[in-house]
Amino acid sequence: DGGITQSPKYLFRKEGQNVTLSCEQNLNHDAMYWYRQDPGQGLRLIYYSQIVNDFQKGDIAEGYSVSREKKESFPLTVTSAQKNPTAFYLCASSTLAGHSREYGYTFGSGTRLTVV
């Protein structure tokens, strides 16, 4: 079955450490997205990519980095520059069906990152 897989489900980071969250999809979707979810804040966009080797910053990109070397994969690195990384991270993908159609996203099951 096609879907989007995030790993790990839980991740612990020490102060000053970089960590990478994995996101893989086999839906043949062109676009992929990373969101951060904090209590009472909704989902805030970190980065998104509409094509391989290209990506755009979202509203809260500082302290994060991404790569898009393959269509199926969009890993997110939380760097030591991100001062408050404890949050729930959601990856999503979508088709780029043209201007006349938007079908929304398929989401992964999320990664809970905690600083210890």
Partner 1 sequence: AQTVTQSQPEMSVQEAETVTLSCTYDTSENNYYLFWYKQPPSRQMILVIRQEAYKQQNATENRFSVNFQKAAKSFSLKISDSQLGDTAMYFCAFKQAGTALIFGKGTTLSVSS
Which residues contact partner 1 (rule: CB under 8 A)? 33, 35, 40-45, 48, 50, 58, 88, 90, 92, 96, 98-100, 102-105, 107, 109-110
- Tell me the closest approach of the beta carbon of residue 105 to partner 1, in angstroms: 6
Comparing CB distances to partner 1, the nearer of 16 and 104 is 104
To partner 1, the closest distance from the beta carbon of 25 in angstroms equals 14
Strands (E), the chain: 4-7, 10-13, 19-25, 31-38, 42-51, 54-57, 64-66, 76-78, 87-94, 106-107, 111-115
Which residues lie across from 107 on neighbouring strands?
A: 92
* Rounded Cα distance, 32 and 107, in Å: 10
Residue 71 or 80: which CB sits closer to partner 1?
71
CB of 90 to partner 1, least distance (A): 7
Whichever of 73 and 95 has its CB closer to partner 1, that residue is: 95
Which residue, 62 or 102, is less far from partner 1 as judged by CB? 102
Count CB neighbours of 51 within 10 A.
11
Q: Answer whether the bond into residue 75 is a cis peptide, omega within 30°.
A: no
Minimum CB separation from partner 1 for residue 67, in Å? 18
Three-state SS for 16? coil
